């Protein structure tokens, strides 16, 4: 107990120290020009986000949730539609489906990667038809920062006439097959909620697409379904814009993001090497890279491990303690035939460790040693 100062789970303060003068100056510029909504920084950010990942189009918006919503609204998702989502995810993935009066159909995940399981997906598509629903879209989640296998998913989508929306709220900056998130699916939604790999200082999000027509529809939806201007309403939309100040902050954070991804990678590699024999460490599939929104281990004695770490000033988190198909508000929706045994099991065993680009080696060692001793006793 020599070194018991509590560690942060995500250290946004240390990050801010890297860019504070730039962020102060960026905010001051916005205060000076006064274009708080859809100011020049918003367009600049969209351009730089698209360049960063190689997507033809990026559209910023008010949150990751709105990003998902805009994508589904642009595709006219509505009553009677079935949208296939993993149950082991943050609630927003299914929430946007229900807001449009469509039905989320819950799919199981793979135990090693926490990504959507393809057999469960196929079975869920069959089940939705049996229940008289119209299968419309697959919304895989890049859980913990690893992109789903969009090639496989796209094949299943094609075979059933579905479209794919990537919930990449946790994975901006990651790659698969050498391509960056934002280009792996026809439409990709991400989040800039503060602790996400690329975060702002409030709520924010973006949608990426290669479809210019869809971009225009989402642009309109983002501002109340505007036509020529916001007093010409050609469709029903939302107020889903990103604040200019948040865009200005994101531009400064994007400038150091590449280095932060590499630093996250180094932390994950040290965790992997040190903990691989002690607990189930996360698996990144061949050809994929992860941005480690979470570093999640698994232990049968999860609650004891968490308690012991807490005693030593090491915070942990459980993503996710209750899968969506078990949530009060969501248990009425269909699940893949046979249930979701992996999601149920994972909910009892997962534990996320502190993970951020500024986690020092001594602090990493402290966490590693604490996990080892918690698992040994
Ligand atoms: C964070 C998150 C969202 C929602 O993003 P917000 O910006 O908080 O609205 C959606 N899906 C997943 C998987 C997330 O982790």
pLDDT tens-place string over residues 11-37: 999 999 999 999 999 999 999 999 999
- Which ranges of the chain does DSSP label H, i.e. alpha helix? 12-33, 40-53, 64-74, 92-99, 118-130, 150-160, 212-222, 244-254, 257-275, 302-311, 341-349, 361-376
Output the pLDDT for position 229.
Answer: 84
Cα of 92 vs centre of ligand 1, distance in Å, is 6
Residue 357 corresponds to which tokens in the numbers above?
């680009």
Residue that finishes a domain, picked among 254, 286, 305: 254
Burial of 166 (0-12, 13-18, 19+ CB in 10 A): buried
> CA-to-CA distance for 256 and 260, rounded, in angstroms?
6
Instruction: For residues 76 and 54, state if they share a domain.
Output: yes
Q: Among the three residues 254, 272, 301, which one is the final residue of a domain in this structure?
A: 254
- Give residue ranges with CB within 6 A of ligand 1: 63-65, 89-90, 92-93, 141, 167, 169-170, 191, 193, 203, 205
Q: Which pLDDT tens digit goes with each residue over 340-355?
A: 999 999 999 999 999 9
Cα of 203 vs centre of ligand 1, distance in Å, is 10
* Domain closes at, from 226, 254, 282: 254
Ligand 1 pocket test, pick from 67, 85, 87, 93 with the greatest ligand atom count within 8 Å of Cβ, gives: 93
Same structural domain, 171 and 270: no
Whether 209 contacts 55, CB under 8 Å: yes
Query: Chain-wide mean pLDDT for the chain?
Result: 97
Which atom of ligand 1 is found nearest the CA of 65? 9
Confidence of residue 3 (pLDDT cuts 50, 70, 90): low
For ligand 1, what atom is nearest to the CA of residue 143? 13
CA of 377 to the centre of ligand 1 (A): 36
Domain count, the chain: 2
| Closest Cα to atom 1 of ligand 1 | 169
Q: Which atom of ligand 1 is nearest to the CA of 142?
A: 13
Q: Which band of pLDDT confidence, cut at 50, 70 and 90, is reported for residue 114?
A: very high
Place of tokens 């996250």: 264
> What CATH number does residue 322 fall under?
3.90.1150.10
The pLDDT value recorded for residue 19 is 97
Residue 135: inside a domain: yes
| Residue 281 pLDDT class (50, 70, 90 cuts) | very high
pLDDT higher than 90, residue 55: yes
Both 249 and 369 in a single domain? no
Q: Whose CA is nearest to atom 14 of ligand 1?
A: 169
């Amino acid at each position: 107990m020599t070194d018991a100062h509590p560690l942060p789970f995500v250290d946004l303060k240390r990050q801010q120290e890297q860019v504070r003068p730039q962020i102060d100056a960026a905010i001051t510029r916005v205060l000076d020009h006064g274009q708080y909504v859809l100011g020049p920084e918003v367009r600049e950010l969209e351009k730089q986000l698209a360049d960063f990942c190689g997507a033809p189009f990026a559209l910023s918006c008010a949150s990751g949730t709105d990003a998902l919503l805009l994508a589904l609204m642009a595709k006219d998702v509505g009553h009677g539609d079935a949208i296939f989502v993993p149950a082991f995810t943050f609630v927003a993935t299914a929430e946007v489906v229900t807001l449009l009066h469509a039905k989320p159909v819950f799919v199981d995940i793979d135990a090693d990667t926490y990504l959507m399981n393809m057999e469960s997906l196929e079975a869920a598509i069959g089940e939705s038809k049996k229940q008289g629903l119209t299968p419309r879209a697959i919304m895989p989640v890049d859980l913990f920062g690893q992109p789903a296998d969009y090639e496989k998913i796209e094949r299943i989508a094609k075979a059933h006439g579905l479209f794919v929306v990537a919930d990449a709220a946790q994975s901006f900056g990651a790659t698969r097959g050498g391509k960056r998130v934002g280009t792996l699916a026809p439409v990709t939604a991400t989040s800039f909620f503060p602790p996400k790999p690329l975060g702002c200082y409030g709520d924010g999000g973006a949608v990426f697409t290669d479809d210019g027509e869809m971009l225009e529809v989402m642009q309109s939806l983002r501002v109340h379904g505007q036509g020529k201007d916001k007093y010409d309403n050609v469709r029903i939309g939302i107020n889903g814009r990103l604040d200019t100040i948040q865009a200005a902050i994101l531009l400064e954070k994007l400038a150091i993001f590449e280095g932060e991804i590499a630093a996250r990678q180094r932390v994950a590699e040290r965790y992997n090497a040190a903990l691989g024999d002690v607990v189930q460490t996360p698996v990144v599939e061949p050809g994929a890279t992860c941005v480690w929104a979470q570093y999640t281990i698994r232990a049968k004695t999860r609650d004891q491990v968490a308690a012991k770490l807490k005693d030593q000033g090491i915070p942990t988190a459980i993503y996710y303690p209750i899968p969506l198909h078990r949530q009060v508000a969501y248990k009425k929706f269909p699940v893949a035939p046979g249930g979701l045994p992996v999601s149920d099991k994972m909910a009892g065993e997962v534990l996320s460790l502190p993970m951020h680009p500024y986690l020092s080696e001594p602090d990493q060692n402290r966490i590693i040693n604490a996990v080892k001793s918690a698992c040994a006793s």
